[in-house]
Structure 1
């Protein structure tokens, strides 16, 4: 059995904290969240990088047969998403005293855990791609390219709101990176000139994108949004990987904490969203005149409360179905 690569747990730990911070800012700023520079930076890479990491570990899925894969991912990803969505729905019903619930509210609840739905679907698609014959591969490639051209006419829930199309390539890059890591490092990392040129080109792409399209990535055309997610994720991965090495050497306690956080990142993702929706639906007053301070305090509240809940759940079945682990 291979030793666990703690550097990826470090990455997941750091990223899930950014997810919590991003949601805390949303709770405070609402529709004006994109005016917050921290929010802008976080949302350029945090979820694409999570998908990239999932792609990196995709090879283990190919060791299962299709039925085993579906059952495993359904239990680990979709069941926790469904259960926590039902909890959110119950909170919504109670907050509205079981009346005046709109279709739009129900729809928003159904796509709460879009990331888990996205990961489930992408895992199946890539499993079919690698296990299937040449015709299967061609169909998947043609379908993806076609989806880019007809992006505004395809079913919204699965492919747009659950971001299947946006995340398809970044997961593929994670799979390629895992398979050819040594060769990629030899070309783009070990050689200083190549590394400098690569980073320079990525920075140019990121800068030009923001010059022409602004900072709100929701306004980007889909192909620009995909490219921006990939480039920002590459830069973030390089920085965070270096940060992991520095923390391991100079701040081992912080390193250990982020690694442990990474190991329960799925649970934190599931629980903190429930707490956030509780605050939203019951309209718990925040501090509008001190948004930055309130965002920091709310981030701490969401993070610490989620970790405490996870650590206090001892029953293995409850952990599996509620927290995905």
Structure 2
């Protein structure tokens, strides 16, 4: 009996480790897309602001990425909350956890970005604005406010009140309300629905993975093509005119596509070297996922600085701007992390780590 219990615990531990790697892989792709979107930018930011005429296809890529990359983060967070968070957390432990992982990075980095944007001429500096950069959702930091709302709502209604029905009812109400609210409040309420979706599918994610592992490689490939076709079709048919609807549909389909991709262990069964290469690429994205907070907090600072330096020395060719900007935005934060992580306790705290 005891041996059976130990085997079961080990199996559950292995499953959780596998699911954790899957989620880091998906998070890694999502953060790579975040950096890509910010390097491209809109007509007032990124490299697109440098040119009087828009760069062909860049606008389309930017708009398409924004239909699914941020919803994926919230879906992953909802799954992680449901599967990995302790069922008997006290309010004190919860507040301490969120203070460390969300509030400290917000308090540390929002003022830095505010000063950086003031120096670059994007906004006018004021001490009130500096304080407001932390209190009010702005720039990339709306994500922390939205994530805090989602985790707080799920913790109180599910962990403490023990009512998933109440949680889903409130989440649906917030989703409906978000269509009539102005940004950033509407955005904060809107993204909670993806967190709720993550919680809803979490109990089934293990069985879904088992089924996907047994799916023939050719069928997996067809599923990936189908998801891609659906996302492109939704983006073409609805696009920016129905932006919130497009984002809702593509966010869920996009997560589905990436989860299928994360379980595809033998993508090229007839070519072992190609399979090994694809696994190496997957490991890179897992690593990106592990460092996603550092990349999120640092990528714009590094990417924008790179763009400014290139302009100063007279390099404005779009392909060079894009290539060097993206390399800097992804690898720059990783190099900073590797240099400071063991040397600076302050840096570790600033990115939400305590150890």
TM-score (norm 1): 0.77
Go from structure 1 to structure 2 and tell me whether the alpha carbon gap of 1:150 and 1:181 turns closer, same or farther (over 3 Å shift).
closer
Residue in 1 that maps onto 2:99: 74
1:210 to 235, 245, 250: 235
Residue in 2 that maps onto 1:86: 111
1:176 to 194, 200, 215: 200
Match of 1:324, SS state, is: coil
Worse-matched range after superposition: 280-289 or 175-184: 280-289
**Unaligned ranges ≥5, structure 1:** none
Go from structure 1 to structure 2 and tell me whether the alpha carbon gap of 1:253 and 1:35 turns closer, same or farther (over 3 Å shift).
closer
CA contact (8 A) 1:9 1:258 kept: yes
CA distance in 2, matches of 1:170, 1:274: 28
Go from structure 1 to structure 2 and tell me whether the alpha carbon gap of 1:8 and 1:155 turns closer, same or farther (over 3 Å shift).
same
CA-to-aligned-CA distance 1:76-98 (integer Å, 9 cap, x gap): 12211221111112223444599
Worse-matched range after superposition: 295-304 or 194-203: 194-203
Residue in 1 that maps onto 2:350: 322
Worse-matched range after superposition: 220-229 or 1-10: 1-10
Residue in 2 that maps onto 1:8: 23
CA distance in 1, matches of 2:97, 2:274: 33
CA-to-aligned-CA distance 1:100-156 (integer Å, 9 cap, x gap): 66999966983422223222221111122312447x655544443334444344363
1:110 equivalent to 2:110? Answer: no
Bigger RCO (CA 8 Å, 6+ sep): 1
1:265 to 277, 285, 292: 292
CA distance in 2, matches of 1:128, 1:190: 38
1:25 equivalent to 2:40? Answer: yes
Residue in 1 that maps onto 2:90: 65
CA contact (8 A) 1:287 1:294 kept: no
CA contact (8 A) 1:20 1:303 kept: yes
CA contact (8 A) 2:67 2:246 kept: no
Q: Which has a greater percent of helix?
A: 1
Match of 1:47, SS state, is: helix
CA contact (8 A) 2:67 2:243 kept: no
CA contact (8 A) 1:77 1:120 kept: yes
Go from structure 1 to structure 2 and tell me whether the alpha carbon gap of 1:19 and 1:243 turns closer, same or farther (over 3 Å shift).
farther
2:335 to 304, 308, 317: 308
Worse-matched range after superposition: 52-61 or 27-36: 27-36
Residue in 2 that maps onto 1:236: 258
CA contact (8 A) 2:238 2:246 kept: no
1:38 equivalent to 2:61? Answer: yes
CA contact (8 A) 1:28 1:286 kept: no
Give me the CA root mean square deviation: 4.2
CA distance in 1, matches of 2:66, 2:107: 24
Worse-matched range after superposition: 252-261 or 112-121: 252-261
CA distance in 1, matches of 2:335, 2:27: 18
Go from structure 1 to structure 2 and tell me whether the alpha carbon gap of 1:245 and 1:141 turns closer, same or farther (over 3 Å shift).
same
What's the offset of the Cα at 1:275? 2.9
